[in-house]
Amino acid sequence: MQLVNGLHFNNLRGDIYGGLTAAVVALPLALAMGVSSGAGPIAGIYGAIFVGLFAALFGGTPSQVSGPTGPMTVVMAIIFTEYTSMFPDDPSYGASLAFTVVILGGLFQIIFGFLKLGKYINLIPHPVISGFMSGIGVIIILLQLGPLFGHIALSGPVDSLKAIPHILSNPVYSSTLIAALALVIVYFLPKKLNKLIPSPLLALIVGTLVLYLWQGGDITSAIDGGRTIYTLGGVSVLGDIPTGFPTPHLPIFEPSLLVGIIKSALILAALGSIDSLLTSLVADSMTRTYHESNRELIGQGIGNTFAGFFGGLPGAGATMRTVVNIRAGGQTPISGALHALVLLAIVLGAGAVAQYIPHALLAGILIKVGTDIIDWDYLKRIKHAPKPGVLIMFTVLFSTVFIDLIFAVALGMIMASFLFMQRMATLQMNSMTATTSAEAAKHLSEKEIALLNKANGRILYFHISGPMGFAAAKGMAKRLVGFDGYDALVIDLSDVPQIDFTSILAVDDIIHDARDNGREAYLVGCNDQICDILIKQDVINKKHIDKIQLNLTEVLELALTKIRQD
């Protein structure tokens, strides 16, 4: 197995250009997501560096670029706020707990990869993913409404929603103008110009220059609610940003919070896995390749573990940066690793410039991120989409925004599972044929049809097709309701490849009901696996296995003989 998946040097020029372009796109997004998470802009950059580097080196999608993403930032914001609020006198301790969660989340992802759980991500139905991603997009937009109009970001979407009247009636006009400039650039920049310089980076440069030339002067600071607020001419800016290589910190554990820490880490791991593998599918479709899902989970886990150690945001495969990288020519892990190294170089010397970046500007950039995450394609098709799927999608969306992220996904999966079981039950019921007439059993041979006709309705032939699950078990007995004039029951399992325990019990009940009413009951056509299960569950006696192994013609002849003897 290749140490670095997909590594070769035949595309070096494309990989270098792709990595540089991805870094240019990643810089403003990483800063914005760091601010949005509450951990600070530098945390976003550190997350992009470590997740981007290690996911590229150890992941399973060669062209993928990783770093902080909208969904991961939303979850991290919740975790960071939760743990820092627990220790108001020492918020740095709460922050350390939050980054401990990031480390554990990365370790869980590595475990997921070694357990080969990557393939199961594809089992999540699209309406669940659509509702969840759209909900994340709505959350990002709601959380940025405050900074967009010059106010501080609130901790949750519900609080942000409640604050909208106050925010709109009391805007900070200078911040709002900067935000409006950012929105115009990220939404309306011509495509040709966007190819030369990505709109988020152009918005970052133009907005910061406009503020500096407009307001000028020195940055001032003030303490508000325990937070240091930096302003330039009345506009909130990033202010003091650490530079240099980050110092690693060992994880800390609070015994009383251990259960909550593990739960939060599992949430991060699950979300990061889903987010990354969805982006891997996008990369596959663009490059006509196939990613290694379990290896990708391991690479993402290593990246997130290192990010937690160095105070960086958790990340995942980033769709926008991956698409930009591929379009610029990136094909191998060289581009993803180079993107991280370029960001590291920026961190080592750009703090003096980054301090002038206004929060309203980053809010405008994130508003665009939020609207891009919303699944507009599904919403456009919603009029003609299956109604149960639409219900699942909106349930997940509203649960994501107003209740809890993992609860939303779990609820969506439960709804989708019940819908799937109902459909399977319908299919299984339609595959059952119960008849005393040869005309209704079209798949029988001429000899079998003749034997069934000779019985004159006294043999009830019950044919089951396809795998039998618990969803249709009760329906088996219902199929036999209305047949009273028969003397022998023949259950044909020749087209059943497998059967579950509930269906076995249903077969057992049908056989016992027939015999309790003085009727003969026969099983035919079960394969070795099903016969073995039926014997173990005492549905059939091992002594009578020779009768079970008779073919349908022989069973019909035997049943006909018994009827005539009676």
Same domain, 393 and 471: no
What's the pLDDT at 542? 53
Kindly provide the b/e burial profile for residues 349-370, where b requires at least 16 CB atoms within 10 angstroms of the residue's own CB. Answer: eebeebbbbbbbbbbbbbbbbb
3-state SS, residue 523: strand
Query: What is the crossing angle of helices 91-114 and 258-287, to 10°?
Result: 50
The pTM score is 0.76
Residue 211 has pLDDT above 80, yes or no: yes
Residue of higher predicted confidence among 100 and 425: 100
Same domain, 178 and 301: yes
Contacts of 24 (CB under 8 A, 6+ apart): 197, 198, 201
Domain count, the chain: 2
Residue of higher predicted confidence among 97 and 228: 97
Please write the tens of the pLDDT for every residue from 310-346.
999 999 998 878 888 887 788 999 999 999 998 888 8
Residue 430 has pLDDT above 80, yes or no: no
Q: Which of 220-234, 392-406, 479-493 has the least mean pLDDT?
A: 220-234
What's the pLDDT at 549? 58
Report the alpha-carbon distance of residue 81 to residue 101 in Å, rounded. Answer: 13
Report the alpha-carbon distance of residue 248 to residue 258 in Å, rounded. Answer: 22
Amino acid of residue 147: P
C-alpha closest to that of 277 among 393, 117, 384: 117
Same domain, 444 and 409: no
Same domain, 466 and 371: no
User: How many other C-beta atoms lie within 10 A of the C-beta of residue 411?
Assistant: 19
Query: Which range, 11-15, 180-184, 380-384, 456-460, has the best average confidence (pLDDT)?
Result: 180-184
Is 97 within the bounds of a domain?
yes
Percent of the residues in the chain that have a pLDDT greater than 70, as a whole number:
94
pLDDT band at 439 (very low <50, low <70, confident <90, very high): low
Residue 357 has pLDDT above 70, yes or no: yes
* CATH at 483: 3.30.750.24
Task: State the DSSP H helix or E strand holding residue 205, giving kind and residue range, or none if neither.
Answer: helix 199-215
Question: Do 430 and 534 contact (CB within 8 A), yes or no?
Answer: no
Mean pLDDT across 477-482: 72
Strands 227-232 and 235-237: antiparallel
Residue of higher predicted confidence among 352 and 165: 165
Residue 218 sits in which domain range?
Answer: 12-348+359-377+385-419
Report the alpha-carbon distance of residue 465 to residue 270 in Å, rounded. Answer: 37
Is 5 within the bounds of a domain?
no
DSSP assignment letter at 489: E
Q: Which of 142-146, 159-163, 288-292, 558-562 has the least mean pLDDT?
A: 558-562
For residue 279 the two structure tokens come to: 């982006």
Residue of higher predicted confidence among 179 and 324: 179
Is 482 within the bounds of a domain?
yes
Same domain, 369 and 474: no
For residue 467 the two structure tokens come to: 């795998």
Mean pLDDT across 362-382: 87
pLDDT band at 195 (very low <50, low <70, confident <90, very high): confident
C-alpha closest to that of 409 among 208, 547, 522, 270: 270
Residue of higher predicted confidence among 249 and 483: 249
For residue 321 the two structure tokens come to: 């940066």
Same domain, 395 and 439: no
Report the alpha-carbon distance of residue 301 to residue 271 in Å, rounded. Answer: 12
Is 354 within the bounds of a domain?
no
Is 534 within the bounds of a domain?
yes
Report the alpha-carbon distance of residue 464 to residue 51 in Å, rounded. Answer: 52
Same domain, 147 and 226: yes
Residue 222 has pLDDT above 90, yes or no: no
Residue 47 has pLDDT above 90, yes or no: yes
pLDDT band at 557 (very low <50, low <70, confident <90, very high): confident
Same domain, 51 and 135: yes
Is 3 within the bounds of a domain?
no
Same domain, 193 and 60: yes
Token pair 């805007």 in the structure block, residue: 171
End-to-end alpha carbon distance in the chain: 71
What's the pLDDT at 226? 60
Backbone torsions φ then ψ of 414, nearest 5 degrees: -65, -45
Residue 470 has pLDDT above 80, yes or no: no
Mean pLDDT across 158-175: 89
For residue 532 the two structure tokens come to: 């073995």
Amino acid of residue 81: T
Question: Do 33 and 366 contact (CB within 8 A), yes or no?
Answer: yes
pLDDT band at 471 (very low <50, low <70, confident <90, very high): low
Residue 48 has pLDDT above 90, yes or no: yes
Please write the tens of the pLDDT for every residue from 267-298.
999 889 988 988 888 788 778 888 899 999 99
3-state SS, residue 435: strand
Same domain, 139 and 288: yes
Q: What is the mean pLDDT of the chain?
A: 84
Is 353 within the bounds of a domain?
no
Report the alpha-carbon distance of residue 34 to residue 71 in Å, rounded. Answer: 13
Distances (CA, A) of 159 to 105, 162, 550: 27, 5, 71
C-alpha closest to that of 328 among 197, 426, 231: 197
Report the alpha-carbon distance of residue 408 to residue 53 in Å, rounded. Answer: 31
3-state SS, residue 253: coil
Mean pLDDT across 523-547: 71
Same domain, 344 and 466: no
Question: Do 253 and 192 contact (CB within 8 A), yes or no?
Answer: no
Is 442 within the bounds of a domain?
yes
Percent of the residues in the chain that have a pLDDT greater than 90, as a whole number:
22
Same domain, 344 and 450: no
Residue 545 has pLDDT above 60, yes or no: no
For residue 10 the two structure tokens come to: 């035949």
C-alpha closest to that of 267 among 75, 107, 403: 75
Give strand ranges (E) for 250-294.
Answer: none
Report the alpha-carbon distance of residue 201 to residue 189 in Å, rounded. Answer: 12
Query: What is the crossing angle of helices 126-148 and 12-37, to 10°?
Result: 60
Residue 543 has pLDDT above 60, yes or no: no
Please write the tens of the pLDDT for every residue from 197-207.
888 888 888 98
Query: Which range, 3-7, 49-53, 434-438, 475-479, has the best average confidence (pLDDT)?
Result: 49-53
What's the pLDDT at 306? 96
What's the pLDDT at 184? 93
For residue 192 the two structure tokens come to: 């040709």
Give me the residues paired with residue 524 across strands: 492
What's the pLDDT at 68? 93
